[in-house]
Amino acid sequence: MVIGWTLIEAFRVTICLLRFNFEAKEQIMKRPIVAANWKMNVLPSEACHLAEQIRQSTAGLGVEIVVAPPYTHLALLSHLRTPQFSLGAQNVHNASSGAYTSGISVAMLKDLQVEYVIVGHSERREAFPSEKDLISDKILAILQGGLKVIYCCGESRSVRESGNELDFVESQLGYDFRDVQRWDPGKIVIAYEPIWAIGTGLTASPEQAGAMHLGIRQWLRSRYGIENAEGTRIIYGGSVKGSNASDLAAIDGIDGALVGGASLSANEFSQIARAFRYPS
């Protein structure tokens, strides 16, 4: 009787553990995301052709593709959206509406079927020193407005040379997410983009990128808990090309890429997306 009961209990515990393990794996299996940041490139008249080439050449890879063109192109591309191909904006205003000449609001982007907004890109941080104090408000505006964030962080060459890159990135994260109380891993993508690698042809080595991604995930874990940390996609940006994408994709904890220069060629971009496909 006692033995029978013990066996039933052991069976029950085993089933629970298997279920827990399965659910944990489900959590951890995230769809990779590869985003194209066109920056201030491509004419409106050329945008549809390039976006359509990107869409076609990346279809069926199991990778979420985001194209972030200049604002002027968004309306022209909204008909291309599919469950795996969406549009991103390169910036947004933190206010919802009003007398902000040149401003573009979250609601305007949403109205154009935009899904993601890039915030905290180093090119904006550098060109507009006040940007760093707006990022937190922009993140809140994007999330409250029902869009998703691609948040960029990363250190300069001098910080990297001083060996303080992890402290630097953690303090960026702490400052920019200071008002985010509840983390939704489905709504926030973190892009680690070392400034010294952006547009320079230099790429972080697999060890450098892997260590930083681990550090960012540990920061997430300590602040928002293990499930949110494991469920968040942390992607790498900085001179990602077809030729180096596989090495980056092979690193545990790199869930995709934010691609600048190489996203202006559908062929190059699709090679990158292919490197991140699951299973590769």
Q: Quick check: 107 and 141 in contact, CB under 8 A?
A: no
Q: Which residue has the tokens 């964030």?
A: 149
CB nearer to ligand PGA: pick between 123 and 229? 123
| Shortest distance in whole angstroms from residue 66 CB to ligand PGA | 12
Residues classed as catalytic: 121, 193
Q: Quick check: 267 and 243 in contact, CB under 8 A?
A: no
User: Which residues ranging from 97 to 126 are in contact with ligand PGA (CB under 6 A)?
Assistant: none
- Quick one: which segment of 50-58, 175-183, 192-200, 242-250 binds ligand PGA (CB under 6 A)? 192-200
| Shortest distance in whole angstroms from residue 200 CB to ligand PGA | 7
Pairing of strands 64-68, 33-37: parallel
CB nearer to ligand PGA: pick between 228 and 255? 255
Determine the 3-state secondary structure of 167 from DSSP. Answer: helix
CA–CA separation, 94 and 96 (whole Å)? 7
- Quick one: which segment of 44-52, 79-87, 90-98, 255-263 binds ligand PGA (CB under 6 A)? 255-263
DSSP state of 96: S
Q: By Cβ distance, which residue is nearest to ligand PGA? A: 260
CB nearer to ligand PGA: pick between 239 and 271? 239
- Site size for ligand PGA, by CB under 6 A? 13
* List 190, 240, 249, 275, residue binding ligand PGA (CB under 6 A): 240
Does the footprint of ligand PGA cover residue 146 (CB under 6 A)? Answer: no
Question: H/E element holding 138?
Answer: helix 135-144
User: Which residues ranging from 258 to 277 are in contact with ligand PGA (CB under 6 A)?
Assistant: 258-262
Binding mask 2-41 for ligand PGA (x = CB under 6 A): -----------------------------------x----
Phi, psi of 85 (to 5 degrees): -130, 115
Q: How many CB atoms lie within 10 A of CB 116?
A: 24
CA 207 to chain centre: 20
| Shortest distance in whole angstroms from residue 244 CB to ligand PGA | 11
- Quick one: which segment of 24-32, 132-140, 214-222, 237-245 binds ligand PGA (CB under 6 A)? 237-245
- What separation in angstroms does the CA of 157 have from each of 44, 80, 205, 213, 279? 34, 38, 14, 18, 34
Q: Which residue has the tokens 């407005």?
A: 145
DSSP state of 88: E
CA–CA separation, 250 and 276 (whole Å)? 8
Binding mask 59-98 for ligand PGA (x = CB under 6 A): ----------------------------------------
Give me the residues that bind ligand PGA (CB under 6 A), please. Answer: 37, 193, 198-199, 237-240, 258-262
